[in-house]
């Protein structure tokens, strides 16, 4: 094909170059996303606004296929696509959860299901979703102690608290995992290892959306407010956007409505909340550049020094 040499051609090439730099590179062609789209379509979801793409600076996210206007519903994910404690109760784990005392927490139920389904591999009905989940996370709880030791004291203390909390979560869950042995040919200790549970815990902690609290006798009194939302959870965070996100009881879909415009081929963001960078790192494993909610934490020694 002969390339044009006129002014119009130069302008067109400059526009194409700018869009390729500021926009993302589509990942729709990748096998894992082709399978995910098929899986979602079988569950009555087919997106027309967004496509998976890789962006400079943020990595994998969702890109707008068309211009998005203010107030538009950018994604509406049917209830059948959500992974909730209802999903777990209806599964092969339901009977084991119902008879376990004291009742397991909703978080434990979700984590157990994730580990079990990941272990099932090709046999898992959730394989297309599991395939696009991160293989590892960058939350402080996943980092080596030598790395955590380099953190400022307030952040280091929070990171160590988080690690202790997850370790206690694992230790207190081992008897429940043992009760699941009839479901597996392999020893449950090799399936529900600390490393496997840590991955599941981070998956729920970093990717779950909020749903209306539910209370069931088969679960502990801890809030049952988490749902994993395949495809929707590819949306990255920006502190500068505003969205409305909630489960719509009428449509039975989890919907996100944007309060800002977005041009074609731009990355579409949501806001995880008005979090400072310490909170973002602890809960999600990243920090936000030019975060308007940034603040500086000081240790007790500095507080005492400043009081003089």
Q: Average pLDDT of 5-17?
A: 47
* pLDDT given for residue 35 in this prediction: 97
Q: How far apart are CA 210 and CA 76, in angstroms?
A: 15
Q: Give residue 305's pLDDT.
A: 41
For the segment 98-125, the average pLDDT, to the nearest whole number, is: 97
Instruction: State yes or no: pLDDT of 119 exceeds 70.
Output: yes
| Topology classification of domain 16-52+69-234+242-291 | set domain protein methyltransferase, domain 1 (3.90.1410)
Say what percent of the chain tops pLDDT 70.
89
Whether pTM > 0.85 for this model: the answer is yes
Mean pLDDT of the chain: 90
pLDDT tens digits, one per residue of 134-154:
999 999 999 999 999 999 999
User: What was the pLDDT predicted at 296?
Assistant: 84
Please tell me the distance from the alpha carbon of residue 160 to that of residue 2, in angstroms, as a whole number: 61
Distance of alpha carbon 206 from alpha carbon 176, whole angstroms: 24
* Domain residue extents for the chain: 16-52+69-234+242-291
Residues 6+ apart with CB under 8 A from 153: 299
Strands 269-270 and 236-237: parallel
Query: Would you tell me how many other CB atoms lie within 10 Å of the CB of residue 211?
Result: 18
At 263-272, the pLDDT tens digits run 999 999 999 9
pLDDT in tens, 204-253: 999 999 999 988 889 999 999 999 999 999 999 999 898 999 999 999 99
């Amino acid at each position: 094909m002969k390339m044009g040499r006129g002014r119009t051609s130069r302008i067109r090439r400059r526009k194409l170059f700018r869009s390729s730099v500021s926009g993302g590179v589509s990942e729709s062609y990748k096998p894992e996303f082709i399978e995910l789209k098929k899986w979602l379509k079988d569950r009555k979801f087919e997106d027309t606004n967004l496509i998976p793409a890789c962006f400079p600076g943020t990595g994998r996210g969702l890109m707008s296929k068309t211009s998005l206007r203010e107030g538009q519903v950018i994604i509406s994910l049917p209830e059948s696509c959500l992974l909730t404690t209802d999903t777990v109760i209806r599964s092969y784990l339901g009977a084991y959860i119902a008879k376990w005392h004291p009742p397991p927490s909703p978080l434990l139920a979700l984590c157990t299901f994730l580990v079990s389904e990941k272990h099932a591999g090709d046999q898992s009905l959730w394989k297309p979703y599991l395939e696009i989940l991160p293989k590892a996370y960058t939350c402080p709880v996943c980092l080596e102690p030598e790395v955590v030791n380099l953190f400022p004291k307030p952040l280091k203390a929070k990171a160590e608290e988080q690690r202790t909390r997850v370790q206690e979560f694992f230790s207190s869950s081992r008897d429940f995992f043992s009760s699941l042995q009839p479901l597996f040919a392999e020893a449950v200790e090799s399936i529900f290892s600390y490393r496997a549970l840590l991955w599941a815990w981070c998956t729920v902690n970093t990717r779950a959306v909020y749903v209306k609290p539910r209370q069931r006798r088969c679960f502990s009194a801890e809030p049952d407010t988490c749902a994993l939302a395949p495809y929707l959870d590819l949306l990255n965070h920006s502190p500068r956007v505003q969205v409305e996100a909630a489960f719509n009881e009428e449509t039975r879909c989890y919907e996100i409505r944007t309060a800002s415009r977005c041009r074609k081929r731009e990355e579409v963001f949501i806001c995880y909340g008005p979090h400072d960078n310490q909170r973002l790192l602890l809960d999600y494993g990243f920090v936000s550049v030019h975060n308007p909610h940034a603040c500086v934490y000081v240790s007790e020694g500095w507080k005492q020094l400043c009081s003089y």
